[in-house]
Amino acid sequence: MPPPPLLPRLSLSPPPLGARDALPSRGRRRRAALPGVVRAKGKDEASFTDRILDYIEGGPKLRRWYGAPELLPKDGVAEDVEDESPVDIEEPRDAVLVTDGDSEIGQMVILALILKRARIKAVVKDKRSTEEAFGTYVECMVGDMEDKSFSKKALKGVRAVICPADDGFFSEPVDLKGVEHIILLSQLAVYRSSGGLQAIMNSKLKKLAERDEEVVLASGIPSTIIRTGSLQSTPGGERGFDFTEGVAAKGRISKEDAATICVEALDIIPRKTLIFEVANGDEKVSDWKAWFAEQTKEDVQIQ
């Protein structure tokens, strides 16, 4: 069964990579299944996430594709090696920072970035399990962004930040100097439309989502705010989309589809801020780069 059309099809015989294309390595770890992703039971039912996990957990083949070396200590066990380089040394800004990287949707964003061969940094709560899942393809960091030294290290070499969850990443001032693009996945419309007991349960998340949007809008950094419908743990790539104003408050969208949109948004940087709503629907998008280019012609904000 061919993979969903949202992301490029994996080639069984990818072109060889040069040494300059190799991803930074910190030692190979044994692969472990991602804790937040549900695996399909049968081969025919395999979702996009299942197939990518199979490639990652396959190990040697994916390492050859990305040019990452297989280096292990003599005892065969990977060692924890901390980066002791000074944080003030300038380096190319070519990395993408994923916040809440060990959440289910954060993992899906990382998987999509791996397909794009992006250099990935992720702020996580459990460094060991995330490193075991993604190995050398992700630089994992644990810390508090309110800590200036940690935030400086986390944002070092970062050109774009993807916030896939309303986790209050921007609840406190963060020095984003040098960041070229912020992509925020927001559930604000969902929280605002909830009522009764659900509204009480979502009150804290609503405040975090409002704060995140406020800080992003006030940052002056080109930003893409994606207001989605209610996030669902369903396979992506099976349905189209609905970008109608107001759809986020009532609609639903697959987490895989939402993660894909976040990563596709990297290709087009708006002059100011692009805000749009999306849920699953009937509109098919075959070329996301063209779609985003059309939306950013005049940087119209849909609010």
Residue 65 in domain: no
**pLDDT of amino acid 303:** 38
Residue 9 in domain: no
Residue with tokens 């999509």: 112
Full pLDDT tens readout for the chain, 303 residues = 554 444 444 443 444 444 444 444 444 444 444 444 444 444 455 555 555 655 555 544 444 444 444 444 444 444 444 454 444 566 788 999 999 898 999 999 999 999 999 999 999 999 998 888 888 899 999 988 888 889 889 999 999 999 998 767 776 777 888 999 999 999 999 988 888 887 888 788 888 888 889 989 988 999 999 999 999 999 999 999 999 999 999 999 999 999 999 999 999 999 999 999 999 999 999 999 999 999 988 554 443
**pLDDT of amino acid 273:** 93
**pLDDT of amino acid 204:** 84
Residue 183 in domain: yes
Q: Which two tokens stand for residue 237?
A: 């790539």
Residue 134 in domain: no
**pLDDT of amino acid 24:** 46
Residue 162 in domain: yes
**pLDDT of amino acid 99:** 92
Residue 20 in domain: no
Q: How many CB atoms lie within 10 A of CB 142?
A: 15
**pLDDT of amino acid 78:** 47
What residue numbers bound the domain in which 290 lies? 93-124+143-295
Bridge partners of residue 202, in order along the sequence: none
Give SS3 for 297: coil
Distance CA(228)–CA(185), nearest Å, equals 7
**pLDDT of amino acid 163:** 94
Residue 81 in domain: no
∠68-71-75 over CA atoms, to 5°?
155
What CATH number does the domain containing 276 carry?
3.40.50.720
Distance CA(110)–CA(104), nearest Å, equals 10
Q: Count structural domains, the chain.
A: 1
Q: Is the pTM of this model over 0.75?
A: no
Residue 37 in domain: no
Cβ 216 vs Cβ 223: under 8 Å: yes
**pLDDT of amino acid 106:** 94
**pLDDT of amino acid 53:** 55
Distance CA(138)–CA(68), nearest Å, equals 12
Cβ 224 vs Cβ 270: under 8 Å: yes
The CB-based long-range contact list for 144-152 (8 Å cut-off, 24+ gap) reads 145/169, 145/172, 145/174, 146/172, 148/175, 149/87, 151/175, 152/87
Cβ 99 vs Cβ 89: under 8 Å: no
